[in-house]
A and B are shown apart, each in its own frame.
Chain A
Amino acid sequence: MTDRLRPSRRTLIQGAAAAGLAAALPLRARAQAPALKIGVILPRSGYLAPAGQSCQRGVDIAPQVLSDLGHRVEVVSVDFESNVDLARTQAEKLIADGAQVLVGAFDSGGTSAIAQVCEQKAVPLVINVAAAPQITEQGFKYVFRNFPTSVMLVRNGLALMKEMFKATNVTPKSGIFIHANDTFGQANRQAIDRLFPTLDMPFKLTDAIAYDPRAQDLSVEVAKCKASGADFVIVTTRAGDAIRLIREMVKQRYEPKGIVSPGSPGMYDQEFYDGLGGYSDYTITNLPWPNFNAPITKRLGDAFAKRFPQNRFGVDAFNVGFTFEAMLVAADASKRAGSRDPRAIAEALRSTDIADHVMTGGTISFDAKGQNNNIGSATVQNLKKTPTVVLPREAATAKPVFPMPGWRGRQA
């Protein structure tokens, strides 16, 4: 053996020191811990496809953002095609493939079906978007919802209307409620019927008009609104119907002081801006929205802009924000539990307390039923074809414009 190959005393000491240091390091630092396997179920095709794909964009950027925050996750995404039957079988498939937490599913029906499977298999489900109140009233032990119920949505939405009147010193005299006659629209109608009289609203609600969201012609419904003399319109739209509704208002020169939704989709979708151009401006949606002043939201926005340069984070923010948060909640629980065991994660989820998160509202925590009651809403007004937070003041990036300017002078 040559001198060159023989270890010197100094080398031996250095080697021993390195070995000692390595032994002192936690196991996780030496061999990277396996990632938490999150199964995501969304309606990426079928009639809920636009929203499902929007949520999916949040899923696609989540692993990198979570990694920057110190969480390692592996994501398996499946599409339940807006079909409740498939939601159940896809949940079974994800769990059979080793998913330790499920996230989903945008739609209350699909979410309820998935919840059954999660409960049977003792695998936690963190809901990103689903508003049916009963989901967390059924006695599930493995279901956690970081999303407001439809009643919470409407209550927050109505409260923000009052705040807007106060902030602008303008109060309408009478309002009319026009809503889609589907499940979500009817649920909103029931919530408004129940809550409106109890919230001391400063205007009277003269009527409620239901319409088929698939109808191509809303001229009769808009004519009824105009004939009622209401100077404030509350709407619950779904998607394309929001465009048809506003077009008809422009056509009939119906110019209320404001058009406000207490939390429905439609008026902050890209299709709405593309379809209406300048007429999309000044319409308002009161709903949970990312707090763009929060550092984590900026981080998420940067990741979104890098990955999806053709999409606008400001438009996808609602779906992306809640979907990312659901994954953050799951990863945080696994980290605190120090385990990827679904039961241990479920146990840790019960003591969730996340202050630094994306959406407006207080800390993310769950009550005994698995519901987060700290989710706030924001008044999101379309300004220059961009959804912009105008209330509450601490999250606002612009001032509310109310009453809204007339249609004249705007361009489609």
Chain B
Amino acid sequence: MKARALLGVLFALLLIAPAAIGAYPLAVLILILHYAYLGIAWNVMMGFAGILSLGHALYVGLGAYVAAALYASFGLPALLGAVPAAVVATLAGLGIGALGFRFRVNGVYFALLTIAFAEFTRILFDHMGWTGGSSGFFLPVEHGHTNLIALRGPPILFYYVALGMTAAAFVASHALMRTRLGYAWLAIREDADSAAASGVDVFRARMAAVAVSSALTSLGGVFYAFYYNNMYPEQIFSMARSIEIILAPIIGGLGTLFGPVLGSFVLTLLGEGTTSLLEHFGLAAPGAKQVIYGLALLVIVMVRPAGLWPWLARRLGVGRDG
């Protein structure tokens, strides 16, 4: 009950935030919510079902390219283009999952498989002429009108879309965890052999986790495409993006519902805060931020290896799942 009240307060604050803050904090909040959303999507696979993916940028990129190409070529609005984007990403995820789980490619080997798919998809898009190849794919700039269905409009539109997506993903994750499938994921995460011995269809449950996670992640890609209006294979499918996606849930707390959200807030604010502090004290030498940021992450991981949320949840007296 206390957790719900706290969540309600946070959501209400985020709802009214644009009225009280300027354009720059709004841009930072959009970034926080975007990575919180992607973190929740990744958490379904790793946090709930124990499947390590280090190539989630693949689904971001596929979602972005499919929706953007459909919009640019056929005028299909973003919210409608999100459906085929999710289908394509889910099929890609299921293909990787089938390959991995059918042939018992588990753990770090499965992670390597996900990296390999993200990398060769990047190379594929680098050479695909009709999506601009390595020169990137650009959406036309449209001036002065707001259209929620087409995701065209000012940053405040994207803020509320990001907030809505994060809230919906949070609620969906919460609901999923209380289904038969959710319990199956937890059982597999703890011990796949025992879960199988107890009658859980491990293959199907894992495939379901991959499908849900890849579909959700691809919607984050759709958001990316229409928010930035341009995408380059080298950036959108990059390993660095995959790592960025997983940082928030790891720092926030793997397998928890609120961990990815908290992690995204902490990481983004840590980054921006460090930049501001260094500028304020005239110490903004190149690389100084990365050193401080890296040290801060090291301390967080060493002091709170299970993530920040389980510890904070205890301090606040709420359930660790938030």
A interface residues (Cβ-Cβ under 8 A, vs B)? 44-45, 49, 52-53, 78-79, 81, 84-86, 88-89, 92-93, 95-97, 108-109, 112-113, 116-117, 119-121, 132-135, 137-141, 150, 181-187, 190
Q: Is there an interface contact between B135 and A93, defined as CB atoms closer than 8 Å?
A: no
Residue from B22, B27, B230 within 8 A of A89 (CB atoms): B27
Expressed in whole angstroms, the Cα–Cα distance for A325 and B229 within the complex equals 27
Distance between B36 CB and nearest chain A CB, rounded to angstroms? 14
**Contact A190/B286 with A89-B272, A92-B23, A92-B27 known, Cβ cut-off 8 Å:** no
- Closest Cβ–Cβ distance, residue A146 to chain B (whole Å): 20
A121–B23 CB distance below 8 A? yes
B141 touches A119 (CB 8 A): yes
Contact with A along B269-291 (1 / 0, CB 8 A): 00110010000000010110110
Query: B312: CB under 8 A from chain A?
Result: no
Contacting chain A: which of B88-96, B125-133, B179-187, B202-210?
Answer: B125-133
Interface string of B15-55 (1 = CB under 8 A from A): 00000001110111001000000000000000000000000
Known contacts A89-B24, A183-B126; is A113 also within 8 Å of B230 by CB? yes
Chain B interface residue count, CB cutoff 8 Å, equals: 37
Q: In the assembly, what is the distance between CA of A216 and CA of B165, in Å? A: 43
CA distance A121 to B232 in the complex (A): 24
Least CB separation from A85: chain B residue:
B31
CA distance A52 to B143 in the complex (A): 31
Distance from B64 Cβ to chain A, minimum over Cβ atoms (Å):
12
Q: List 25 A-B contacts (CB under 8 A).
A: A44-B286, A45-B286, A45-B289, A49-B287, A79-B275, A79-B284, A86-B271, A89-B27, A92-B23, A92-B27, A92-B155, A93-B27, A108-B136, A109-B232, A116-B229, A120-B155, A121-B23, A134-B136, A138-B229, A139-B140, A181-B126, A183-B234, A184-B134, A186-B126, A190-B135
Which residue of chain A lies nearest to B293 when distances are taken between CB atoms in the complex? A81
A45-B286, A96-B22 known; A88 vs B27 contact (CB < 8 Å): yes
CB neighbours of B103 from chain A (8 A): none
In the complex, which residues of chain A have a beta carbon less than 8 angstroms from the beta carbon of B272? 89
- Is B71 an interface residue, CB under 8 A from the partner? no
Per-position contact with A for B102-128: 1 when CB-CB < 8 Å, else 0? 000000000000000000000100110
Closest to A89 in B: B27
Q: Does B160 contact A (CB under 8 A)?
A: no
**Cβ B132 vs Cβ A134 within 8 A:** yes
CB of B225, distance to nearest CB on chain A (Å) = 12
Taking a contact as CB atoms closer than 8 A, the residue among B27, B136, B141 that contacts A140 in the complex is B141
A86, A120, A183: the one within 8 Å of B136 (CB): A183
Chain B, range 194-245, C-beta contacts under 8 Å to A: 228-230, 232-235
B135 pairs with A112, CB closer than 8 A: no
Is residue B154 within 8 Å, beta carbon to beta carbon, of the partner chain? yes
Give the distance to chain A from B314, nearest Cβ to Cβ, in Å: 32
In angstroms, how far is the closest chain B Cβ from the Cβ of A410?
34
Mask, B141-154, CB within 8 Å of A = 1, is 10100000000001
B133 & A190 in contact (Cβ 8 Å cutoff): yes
Is the beta-carbon distance between A112 and B136 smaller than 8 angstroms?
yes
Chain B positions within 8 Å of A120 at CB level: 154-155
Minimum CB–CB distance from A324 to chain B (whole Å) comes to 20
CB of B148, distance to nearest CB on chain A (Å): 17
Task: A96-B24, A138-B229 given; name 20 further pairs at CB < 8 Å.
Answer: A79-B275, A79-B289, A93-B27, A96-B23, A112-B136, A112-B230, A116-B228, A116-B229, A120-B154, A134-B230, A137-B138, A138-B138, A138-B141, A140-B141, A141-B143, A182-B134, A183-B135, A185-B134, A186-B126, A186-B134
Determine the chain A residues whose CB is within 8 A of the CB of B27 once the complex forms. 88-89, 92-93, 117
Cβ-closest chain B residue relative to A190: B133
Write out the residue numbers on chain A whose beta carbons fall within 8 Å of the beta carbon of B284. 79
Query: CA separation between A196 and B213, bound complex, in Å?
Result: 45
- CB neighbours of B26 from chain A (8 A): 92
The one of B136, B140, B143, B155 in contact with A109, judged by C-beta atoms closer than 8 angstroms, is B136
Option from B23, B140, B228, B233 in Cβ contact (under 8 Å) with A112: B228
Binding site for A on B (CB under 8 A): 22-24, 26-28, 31, 123, 126-127, 132-136, 138-141, 143, 154-155, 228-230, 232-235, 271-272, 275, 284, 286-287, 289-290
In the docked arrangement, what's the CA distance between A183 and B272, Å? 28
| B232 A108 Cβ-Cβ under 8 A | yes
B235, A109: Cβ atoms closer than 8 Å: yes
Given the known interface contacts A81-B290, A93-B24, A141-B143, the answer about A187 and B134 at a Cβ–Cβ threshold of 8 Å is yes
Q: Which residues of B contact A89 (CB under 8 A)?
A: 24, 27-28, 31, 272
Residues of A within 8 A of B139 (CB): 138
Q: Write the chain B residue with the least CB distance to A50.
A: B286
Instruction: Assess whether A112 is in contact with B133, with CB atoms less than 8 Å apart.
Output: no
Please indicate the chain A residues that have their CB under 8 angstroms from the CB of B136 in the complex. 108-109, 112, 132, 134, 183
Residue among A89, A116, A119, A187 with most chain B CB within 10 A: A89
Q: How far is the CA of A197 from the CA of B88 in the complex (A)?
A: 38
| Contact yes or no, A79 B286, CB < 8 A | yes
Given contacts A45-B289, A53-B286, A89-B272, contact A139 B24 (CB under 8 A): no
What's the minimum C-beta distance from A353 to chain B, rounded to whole angstroms?
A: 26
Complex Cα–Cα for A108 and B134 (A): 11
- Chain B residues whose CB sits within 8 angstroms of the CB of A117 once the complex forms: 27
Closest-by-CB residue of A relative to B22 is: A96
B286 contacts A95, C-beta separation under 8 Å: no
Q: How far is the CA of A12 from the CA of B230 in the complex (A)?
A: 69
Contact in complex: B286, A49 (CB < 8 Å): yes
10 A-B pairs with the lowest CB-CB distances in the bound complex, closest first = A186-B134, A92-B27, A112-B230, A96-B24, A44-B286, A134-B138, A92-B24, A93-B24, A45-B286, A183-B134
Q: Find chain A residues with CB under 8 A from B233 CB.
A: 183
Inside 8 A of B23's CB, which chain A residues have their CB?
92, 95-96, 121
Closest chain A residue, CB of each to CB of B279: A78
- Which A residues lie within 8 Å of B28 (CB)? 89
Bound complex: CA of A88 vs CA of B234, how far in Å? Answer: 18
Interface pair A182/B234, CB less than 8 Å apart: yes
**What's the least CB distance linking A111 to chain B, in Å?**
9
A154 CB, nearest partner CB in chain B, Å: 12
Chain B residues closer than 8 Å to A44, beta-carbon distance? 286
Residues of chain B within 8 A of A133, CB atoms compared: 135
Chain B min CB distance to A170 (Å): 33
CB B65 to nearest CB in A, in angstroms, measures 15
State the Cβ distance, A161 to closest chain B Cβ, in Å. Answer: 23
Q: Which of B228, B232, B275, B290 lies in contact with A88, CB distance below 8 A?
A: B228
